């Protein structure tokens, strides 16, 4: 069911993009540092959207990587504390038996 919903949403998004592309076919002048060029408006808009998505995705991946590293660190800390606790518990039991 979820896959069908995603497929329908993807088709609707593709339809909206196709209509947007047909409406925005006029050429616009794009100024670069080294010159200018005329491109269809839809390519300029889609290029900007793709660049924005890449930037946001890169930032998200970096944050995810940092969080994963932090989780690994805290798991190691918890394991070492558990080991220390077990050792201290064992020492207490040995001292009580004496």
* Domain segments of the chain as ranges: 2-97
The region, left, alpha or beta by phi > 0 then psi within -120 to 50, assigned to residue 35 is left
Which of 50, 52, 43, 53 is closest to 20 using CA atoms?
43
- Per residue of the chain (98 residues), give pLDDT as tens: 777 898 898 899 888 888 888 888 899 999 988 899 999 988 888 888 889 999 999 999 999 999 999 999 999 999 999 998 988 888 888 888 76
Regarding pTM above 0.85, the answer is no
């Amino acid at each position: 069911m979820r896959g069908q919903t995603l497929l329908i949403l993807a088709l609707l998004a593709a339809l909206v993009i196709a209509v947007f592309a047909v409406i925005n076919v006029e050429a616009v002048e794009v100024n670069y540092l080294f010159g200018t060029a005329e491109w269809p408006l839809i390519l300029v808009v889609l290029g900007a959207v793709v660049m924005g998505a890449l930037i946001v995705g890169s930032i998200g991946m970096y944050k995810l990587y940092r969080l994963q590293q932090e989780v690994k660190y805290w798991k190691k800390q918890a394991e070492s504390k558990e080991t220390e606790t077990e050792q201290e518990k064992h020492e207490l039991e040995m001292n009580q038996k004496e």
